[in-house]
Amino acid sequence: MKRVLLIFSFLVFFTAGFSQLKTYNFDQLQPRLSTGSDSVYVVNFWATWCVPCVKELPEFEKINEVYSDKKVKVLLVSLDNPDHLESRVMPFIENHGLKSEIVLLDDPQSNRWIPMVDESWSGSIPATVIFTKESRSFHEKIFTYEELDAIVKSKLN
């Protein structure tokens, strides 16, 4: 019986573990910032505490939904403090019903990786990279759905 309990608790532990967000350092995230495939990638840097980011999240969610049958992939990179993963980020994702893929970037060496995302990025968020294998654009701004949609459309063609 004890052994069964032990196995059971292990199972619970691991399932709980797998339902967590992936946490990357920048070197782990970097392969997700370029592509050799035919898809359009929309990568948005945000945080739960960033009011303008939270405000524009629905636009990214809408892109994710509207283009679900097209080669468009949305990735939301949270810059929240990893200590707040359980207490803030997970509940936030649940409450807002976010469907896009989300990862947490845990890498304090921002002076190193900010220019690797884009040389022109000053470091403020929200910030978004939209790329295909041929073209790439970087936006340190708050998007409306129409603006986002226009860029995705132009890159799909």
Partner 1 sequence: MKKLILFIAFALATVSLLNGQGYNVGDYATDFRLKNVDGNYVSMSDYPDAKGFIVVFTCNHCPYSVAYEDRKIEIHNKYREKGFPMIAINPNDPEAEPRDSYELMQVRASEKQFTFPYLLDDGQAVHPVYGATRTPHVYLLKREGSKYVVAYIGAIDDNYRDASAVEEHYLTDAIDALLEGRKPDPNFTRAIGCTIKYVEK
Q: Of residues 29, 63, 75, 125, which one binds partner 1 by CB under 8 A?
A: 125
Q: Of residues 19, 95, 122, 157, which one binds partner 1 by CB under 8 A?
A: 122
Cα–Cα distance for residue pair 48/110, rounded to 1 Å: 18
- Residue position matching structure tokens 């690797």: 116
Active-site residue identified among 33, 47, 50, 75:
50
Angle between helices 145-156 and 51-66 (to 10 degrees): 40
Cα–Cα distance for residue pair 64/76, rounded to 1 Å: 11
CB distance 101 to 63 below 8 Å: no
User: Of the ranges 3-11, 60-68, 106-114, 129-137, which one interacts with partner 1 (CB under 8 A)?
Assistant: 106-114
> Pattern 72-101, binding to partner 1, x per CB under 8 A?
-------x-x-x------------------
Q: Of residues 90, 98, 103, 114, which one binds partner 1 by CB under 8 A?
A: 114
Residue 146 in contact with partner 1, rule: CB under 8 A: no
Cα-based torsion angle of the residue sequence 112, 87, 92, 121 in order, rounded to the nearest 10 degrees = -10
> Pattern 4-43, binding to partner 1, x per CB under 8 A?
----------------------------------------
Strand partners, 33: none
